[in-house]
Structure 1
Amino acid sequence: MDGPHMPTVPECAPPTPPSPLTSLTPLTPLTSPTPPVPLGALLAREDLGLRRIAGPGDPEPVVHWVHTSEMADPYPYLLGGELLLSAGVQLADPDTYVARLVEAGAAALGFGVAPVYDTVPAGLVAACDRYGLPLVEVPPRTPFTAVARAVWQLMALARHHELRRVARAQQGLATAAARPDPVPAVLGQLASRLGGRAVLLAADGTELAAAGRPLSGPAARALGRLAAVVRPAAPDAPDAVRPKAPAPSPKAHTAASGSGEGRVAPPTGHTGPSAPDLPAAPGAKGVSAASDTADGTRLAAYAVGSRGLVLGLATPDREPGDHTVAGVAVVLLSLLTAPGQGGGSGRDAALVRLLLGADPAATAAELGGDRWTAVRARPGRGGTTPFATAALGAALGSPLVDPAPDGTVRVLLPRAVDDVPAQPGWVLGVGGPAGPGSLADSDTQAARALDTATAARRDVAVHRPGPLTALVPPAEAAAHARTLLAPLADAPALRETLRAWLSLHGSWDRTAAALGIHRNTVRQRIARCAALLGTPATRTSAAVPADLDDADVRAELWFALRSLP
């Protein structure tokens, strides 16, 4: 019994078919890696000669893949969405056979005429009409492999069309995002590309901007319900703690379209050809996207950013690639509506008032807080890339970045920090927290900390409050002390007496007791120190001893003595 419709690989023995079914539950097909093909496109191929002889034509069935089987019950080996090809080798009970195919979620049945049957059995035609399964007659001249090849060709063409459509939509959305009114422009471009309506909703459900065809009342209310599903419960809640919809199991039951039940779509990062609808968890919020159908309109809602904004879409149909195009729009709208972006934001207005002479303390709250931290950065030994400056600001969490011609970068953090993490390719110095009126002090501290980190070969140095001596690097302080106390370099007894006398606030008796010498000896040594540290005599003037009663002179000598080893 050789022929074009005979299977070339023997199959396992089929299980015992169950009893005829009285009620059927259609199954949801799994998503194929390529766009599904309308059955009508396959029937339009004149070279195949296929003809539909039973089953409904509306709605148009779609084929996700092709499978050939001559088993009496192929149900266990079907994923759903197949065009099943068979020559009826083991067709015993057409009614049970078709019922099991419908239960497995098959898209259509292709029956090969010859070599087993000269015509399609009448019982099979009646069963397909009864259960609503499209039945296609495959003529003897058309091998099953030719049908499968045609399906893959149509899928490849559909995939190519989808990629071109998505690429053009991405270009259009990017161009719209660069316009002076980017948010309405992106919505307009999105509505035009998808042939429907796009709306941006605020956290309280208020319509911020919209473009495209107006919605009917039922569709608008259904879109509002979807927005409530995807809107996060807390604007800044991390994704890890938001409720997630349960994953579907293969061959799981799906409610009929138009029931009004919300459905969760894959995350916006999904780039596959088609996005299957998944049942939403009852009452779940914070999901990334959801879809539904109302009043003959396809609805979808996507969470935008972390401020509770929602992008709502309403289209007459849902085509492959729509979800990817919407995902691009979500990314652009998230960037355009992020805090501090766009004209008229609170921070921008506060900066304008500050430049026009407003009190820094009065604008502190709108600028980001009443405590700020300055950070200075210098490229490390490996250098940086042209975009490293912007990446540094993003890593530190601030858009306020000021690159200097010498390669040093200043970053202003709108918050008080105790420390910052090391950044690859950078050496960082962190100043102390300061108010808006004292930012220069924090920047000076950051500059000193950066010098300290560079000298110590550390990735990060943080300014810590300390004595005034900590403001001068120890090596520089020691060099200055050796220069100032050079006249006493060969007189260690004078240096020790001067140190003790200054530490005891100029007390002759206490200094004498501390050193174990006579108080007159103390007076003589201090007088000698004043003479040596003073201004030497010249041809035109006499020597002037140092005024050790002056607090400034005492303080400088004390710091110098403490800086010596």
Structure 2
Amino acid sequence: MDGTSTVPDPVAPSAPPPTPPVPLTALLARDDLGLRQIAGPDAGESGAAVQWVHTSEMADPYPYLLGGELLLTAGVHITDPGGAGVYLDDYVARIVEAGGAALGFGVAPVHDTVPRALVTACDHYGLPLLEVPPRTTFSGVARAVWQLVAEARLAELRRVTQAQQGLATAAARPDPVPAVLRQLAARLGGWAALYAPDGAVLHTAGTAPVAGTRQAVRDLSEVVRPAGRPGPAPASATDSVGGAHLAAYALGGGQGFALGVAAEQREPGDHTITGVAVVLLSLLTGKHQGAADAVRSAALVRLLLGSAAGDVAPLLGADEWTVVHARGDAGNDPVAHSVAASALAAALGSGLVDADAEQDLVRLLLPADRELAGQPGWTIGASAPTATGDLPAADAQADRALRRAEATRAPLVRHREAGIAALVAPAEAAAHARVLLAPLGGSEALTETLRTWLSLHGSWDRTATALGVHRNTVRQRVTRCATLLGADLDDPDVRMELWFALSRGR
């Protein structure tokens, strides 16, 4: 790598992007100016650009230059063009030393042609030399540059605004972290990666510009990640490898996540775009602390110390709850699953979430009066509104609703209380269920298969899909249930009674 630089200050995505420089080729293309390059590296091949215009007839303009200027001169300070070789060599050297981007020489009224020694010096030091024709005023050149600067700045602001909107839209998707990375990589025209606190790569997007980029960015991410080093880690770090520009950013929240990016080109607004992504990813991966967290913490402590659920419920702000079970496509990676679960909880407006990566399951508690809608990328099952003391039964309802949703490929299935089931006291229903289902010997496999099969109207294929087993296994289990129960499962009255027992007995 060519050398790492670090930045201790945090990223400021709200700051406007810096003004893009004007390519020298854009000035040369202006027919109204009639400029012509007569020395120095070709503007098209070198990518030379100017940031502003300065006019000076000083013999040594160095003290008055900031860098990036197109310096305009009529050569008033050149009194002997034929014998000024050493003088003009020093003159051009000082312009290059000051960071000047190009030199414009006005032909007439002082000199009829550009001094040959000046052309030689510009070729020697690699400074683009432009001939300004008599009809073109220096003020006209300056005005053209400012026009081009304004156009470039407007275009860059438009690009940054569109990128910000795209990133915000990506953050609202069901897979927000991968979506934000894909959007960022596309906007930068490069590659982006999210690193876990232990340095593992969680997600990547885009195409690495050159060989070795991935490892180089990963190494750079270690610079911004706290790792037992003394003092605070920098907020960002930059480097380059094989002509590609690399950068790493520490995400907020103090969890140790880091963002790495790589691109062949670095535009003025790229830092602003990346800053927006840093903020969004920090929100998606960070742990948010606040009053709501304090209340949930107090409720947990009271439960662990023996308080009844009904006594703790008022702390959470609702008398009735809906239990939600959801399954997405995050897989069983703990970090990715946790991030996806947090995004789902935010979309549903709940801070009470349990992410079980091993079961690829997310469980949430929603106040019963809160509207529940399907979420893109998720399959959801929801219980009926339930008092705090009956949440275990509601959990079972949500589980069955999720299984039904998966079997029917519905985005959202709700448990509904209806018919005679609502007329029987829960305790009596549970007692009846225990007696009726006793012949099954408490076999979870048989009980769950029979429940799912009945809920899907005796469909072997959909039951197999919901349980994740072969359809022949479903047939064998259902046949075994019929034998143990001594029941004709083709009889609708038998099915109704068994369904009542199975739905009441959990």
Q: Provide TM-score, normalisation by structure 2.
A: 0.52
Partner of residue 259 from structure 2, selected from 288, 293, 311: 311
CA displacement, residues 381-407 of structure 1 (integer Å, 9 cap, x when unaligned): xxxxxxxxxxxxxxxxx968x999xxx
Deviations along 1:264-310, whole A, 9 cap, x unmatched?
Answer: xxxxxxxxxxxxxxxxxxxxxx2222222211212111111221211
5 Å matches for 1:49-64?
49-57=34-42, 58-64=45-51
Match of 2:120 among 121, 126, 145: 126
Question: Which residue is equivalent to 2:392?
Answer: none
Alignment check: 8 A CA contact 1:184 1:209 kept: yes
Residue 142 (structure 1) aligned with residue 136 (structure 2): yes
Q: Deviations over 1:316-371 (max 9, x none)?
A: 21112111110111100000001269xxxxx9xxx9xx99xx9943999xxxxxxx
Match of 1:386 in 2: none
One-letter amino acid matched to 2:286: A
User: Measured at CA, do residues 150 and 32 of structure 1 come closer, stay the same or move farther in structure 2, by a change above 3 Å?
Assistant: farther
Match of 2:67 in 1: 80
1:181 matched to which residue of 2? Answer: 175
Structure 2, gaps ≥5 residues long: 1-15, 79-83, 308-314, 318-349, 353-364, 368-506
Q: Give the distance between the partners of 1:171 and 1:220, measured in 2 at CA.
A: 27
Per the alignment, do residues 167 and 234 of structure 1 end up closer, same or farther by CA in structure 2, a change over 3 Å counting? farther
Q: How does 1:364-443 map to 2 (within 5 A)?
A: none
- Tell me how far apart the structure 1 counterparts of residues 209 and 57 of structure 2 sit (CA, whole Å): 49
Partner of 1:296: 243
Q: 1:157 to 1:128 in 2, by over 3 A?
A: same
| Mapped partners of 1:190, 1:32: distance in 2 | 16
Q: 1:144 to 1:332 in 2, by over 3 A?
A: same
Distance in 2 between residues matched to 1:164 and 1:336, nearest whole Å: 26
Q: How far is 1:44 from its partner?
A: 1.0
Of residues 107, 112, 118, the one that matches 1:113 is 107
- Is residue 2:22 matched to residue 1:37? yes
Matching residue of 2:55: 68
Deviations 1:57-101 (A, max 9, x none): 232111111100000001011111111000111135110100100
User: Could you tell me which amino acid in structure 2 is paired with residue 111 of structure 1?
Assistant: F
Unaligned runs of 5+ in 1: 1-30, 243-285, 342-346, 365-373, 377-397, 405-565
* C-alpha deviation, 1:146, in angstroms: 0.5
In structure 2, the partner of 1:339 is 287
2:281 partner SS: helix
Q: 1:33 Cα deviation (Å)?
A: 5.7
- Kindly indicate which of the two structures has a greater share of residues assigned to helix: 2
CA shift in 2, pair 1:315/1:117, >3 Å: same
8 Å contact kept, 1:32–1:64: no
Secondary structure of the residue aligned to 1:199 is strand
Distance in 2, matches of 1:129 and 1:363, equals: 86
One-letter code of the match for 2:91?
Answer: Y
Q: Verify: 1:361 aligned to 2:268, yes or no.
A: no
Query: Bigger relative contact order, structure 1 or 2, given CA contacts below 8 A and separation 6+?
Result: 2
How far apart in 2 are the matches of 1:363 and 1:189?
Answer: 48
Q: 1:137 to 1:32 in 2, by over 3 A?
A: farther
Partner residue of 1:151 out of 128, 137, 145: 145
Give the conservation status (yes or no) of the 8 Å contact 1:32–1:65.
no
Distance in 1 (CA, whole Å) between partners of 2:69 and 2:166 is 36
Indicate whether 1:102 and 2:96 are aligned. Answer: yes
CA–CA distance in structure 2, aligned partners of residues 316 and 143 of structure 1: 38
| Count of residue correspondences | 288
Report the alpha carbon displacement of residue 230 of structure 1 after superposing the two structures with TM.
Answer: 1.9
Pairwise CA distance, 1:129: 0.6
CA–CA distance in 1 between the matches of 2:176 and 2:138?
A: 52
Secondary structure in structure 2 of the residue aligned to 1:35: coil
Kindly, what percent of the aligned residue pairs are identical? 63
Q: Secondary structure, in 3 states, of the residue corresponding to 2:46?
A: coil
